Amino acid sequence: MNQAAIEIKGLHKSFGSLDVLKGIDLTVKTGEVICLIGSSGSGKSTLLRCINQLTVQEKGTILVNGENIGPANDENSRDKKLSNAEIARQRSRVGFVFQQFNLWPHRTVLGNVMDALLVVKKMDRAQAKEIAIARLEEVGLADWSEEYPSTLSGGQQQRVAIARMLAMEPDVMLFDEPTSALDPERVAEVIDVMKLLAKKGHTMIIATHEMNFARDTADRVIFIDEGVIVEEAPAREFFTAPKTDRLKSFLNRLSV
């Protein structure tokens, strides 16, 4: 449990003249569940996207299980540019769940979950199907495997997206506001799935606005504001005894 699953040092990212991340340092232990909170535009999404190289940082290093992800520009970097295949292999080890689910509309639920096994892991169809069905059972949607995503509710689609990520057996799982696009009555079903994953000991980073979920599930909660980590603490402490004024006013606004 002590090995670092993710090690981030001095992460900077800007879009044009807008500095989104201004030096993030973060270490996540294997099996740890982290919740990222902060207002919109604080840099939560950008931080998660950098870990999977959907966004490439300007400065700073990211290690996942000790392996350098993306361009390394510290002094002892093995500074070779990674090939497309290398980057793709690294990404396949890091699962990502999007706010908008991003299921492929032209494939069935089963097709969505097993496609990466066929294409990326080069499994044969029977084996991929077996794994996909097992993952769909885990999120409670095995009965829906022949349906197309457009016939599912938002909550169901997000659970399929989670199953699709699980099928790849990633080392770490990143969730970018997975419940923010859902109707309020659909939030719970997705939260329940994430709680289950947390219980199973997966390494997870979840950007979320669901404070109750963060308090109940996270090992550690991190508050990001204007591109820097303002405060981090174990979940109970974080909500009951916030230290900084910025976090206090943020929690007050949410009245939790």
Partner 1 sequence: MDFEFRFDIVWNNFPLLLEGIETTIVLSLLTMVLGTIIGLFVAIIRLRVRRIFAVPLIIYVEVFRGTPGLIQIVWIYYCLPIVTGLQLDALTSLVIAMALNVGAYLSEVFRAGIQAVDKGHIEAATALGYRPAQITRRVVVPQAAYRMIPAIGNVFVSAIKLSSLCSVLGMAELMYQGQIIIANFFRPIEVFTVVAMIYLLMAYTTSLFMMYLEWKLAWIKREDMTLWQRFKHISHASFSLKPQGDV
Strands (E), the chain: 4-15, 18-29, 33-37, 59-64, 67-68, 94-97, 172-176, 203-207, 220-225, 228-234
State the minimum distance, in angstroms, from the CB of residue 157 to partner 1: 12
Q: Does 102 bind partner 1 (CB under 8 A)?
A: yes
Instruction: Report the site for partner 1 in 115-134 (rule: CB under 8 A).
Output: 115-116, 119-120
Asked if 166 contacts 112 with a C-beta cutoff of 8 angstroms, the reply is no
89 lies in the site for partner 1, by CB under 8 A: yes
Q: How far apart are CA 216 and CA 88, in angstroms?
A: 34
- Name which of 138 and 225 has its Cβ closer to partner 1: 138
Residue 150 touching partner 1 (CB under 8 A): yes
Looking at 91, 129, 186, 202, which residue binds partner 1 (CB under 8 A)? Answer: 91
* Residue placing its CB nearer to partner 1 in the complex, 88 or 256: 88
CA distance 225 to 246: 8
Among 12, 107, 209, 246, binds partner 1 (CB under 8 A): 107
- List the structure tokens of 127: 């084996």
In the three-class reduction of DSSP (H, G, I as helix; E, B as strand; rest coil), residue 5 is classed as: strand
Report how far residue 2's alpha carbon sits from residue 59's, in angstroms, rounded to the nearest whole number: 26
Among 56, 58, 74, 104, binds partner 1 (CB under 8 A): 104
Does 148 sit near partner 1 (CB under 8 A)? yes
Per rule CB under 8 A, is residue 105 in the interface with partner 1?
A: yes
Contact range with partner 1 by CB under 8 A, out of 63-71, 124-132, 160-168, 201-209? 160-168
Contact 2, 29 (CB under 8 A): yes
Q: Which of 83, 97, 21, 18 is nearest to 52 (CA)?
A: 97
Contact residues toward partner 1 (CB under 8 A) are: 52, 54, 84-85, 88-96, 98, 100, 102-107, 115-116, 119-120, 148, 150, 161, 164-165, 168
